[in-house]
Amino acid sequence: MHRCPGTDPRFLKVEVHKCQCGYEVEIFSDEVKAKCPKCKKDVFRENTPSCIDWCKFSRECLGEKRWHEIKKAMDSGQQDRKKQG
Ligand SMILES: [Zn+2]
32-63 pLDDT per residue, tens: 889 999 999 998 876 545 677 777 888 888 78
Q: How many C-beta neighbours within 10 Å does residue 30 have?
A: 20
H-helix or E-strand spanning residue 64: helix 64-84
Beta bridge partners of 14: 28
From ligand 1's centre to the CA of 20, what distance in Å?
A: 6
Based on the structure, what is the number of domains in the chain? 1
Higher pLDDT, 11 or 39: 39
- Which residue range forms the structural domain that includes residue 52? 9-84
Predicted model pTM? 0.47
From ligand 1's centre to the CA of 57, what distance in Å?
A: 33
From ligand 1's centre to the CA of 40, what distance in Å?
A: 6
Strands 14-18 and 42-44, how do they pair? Answer: unpaired
Number of H helices, E strands in the chain: 3, 4
Whether 21 is in a domain gets the answer yes
Whether 67 is in a domain gets the answer yes
Whether 4 is in a domain gets the answer no
Whether 41 is in a domain gets the answer yes
From ligand 1's centre to the CA of 16, what distance in Å?
A: 12
Whether 2 is in a domain gets the answer no
| Angstrom distance (rounded) from CA 79 to CA 71 | 12
